Structure 1
Amino acid sequence: MIRFPKKKTEITTEVITNTIWVSSFLAMILSLPPLGLFLGIYFLTGDIIVGAVIGFGVHFLTLAFSSKISKFLTNIMS
């Protein structure tokens, strides 16, 4: 049987608030630009495939740099 130690860690409301703000901004940075590109290309050209490819490409490019973006946002927020 696995027994986990009963450690109680104190987390302040400032840390929780900071985590929520950084997570929210990171989610917006990762999702809104690719969505905007996808919809913009789709409505301007009418080609859903090109919009999807460019949108996914930008999404995965920002996802590759998400740790650096998160560290940057954490430094700004604290």
Structure 2
Amino acid sequence: MINFSNKKSNISSEVLFKMVWVSSFLAMIFVLPPLGLFLGIYFLTGELLIGAVIGFGVHFVILAFSGRISKFVTKLVS
């Protein structure tokens, strides 16, 4: 059975605002470069598979450094 605690925490609007901006920046950093590479390779060469492999590769390399990127973006927004 699921037990939901009745704890209510008050989150300030400043913390919520920073959380939304950091999450948005991280989403753009993780998605836009691999998507740009994928679409660029696909439209320039017509090779779907090569574009997909390079795009996924760049995406996972970026994900490997996600902790450092998150800390940097958090410092930048703060």
The normalised TM-score by structure 2 is 0.90
User: Which position in structure 1 is the counterpart of 2:8?
Assistant: 8
CA shift for structure 1 position 4? 6.2
The 5 Å alignment of 1:39-50 reads 39-50=39-50
Q: Which ranges in structure 2 are unaligned for 5 or more consecutive residues?
A: none
Amino acid at match of 1:51: G
Q: 1:5 to 1:39 in 2, by over 3 A?
A: closer
Measure the CA separation in 1 of the matches of 2:26 and 2:69. Answer: 7
User: Which position in structure 2 is the counterpart of 1:57?
Assistant: 57
Measure the CA separation in 1 of the matches of 2:66 and 2:35. Answer: 17
CA shift for structure 1 position 10? 2.2
Measure the CA separation in 1 of the matches of 2:3 and 2:53. Answer: 48
Q: 1:44 to 1:2 in 2, by over 3 A?
A: closer
| RMSD (Å), alpha carbons | 1.5
**Percent of residue pairs bearing the same amino acid type:** 67
The normalised TM-score by structure 1 is 0.90
Q: Deviations over 1:44-77 (max 9, x none)?
A: 1110010000000000000111111111000111
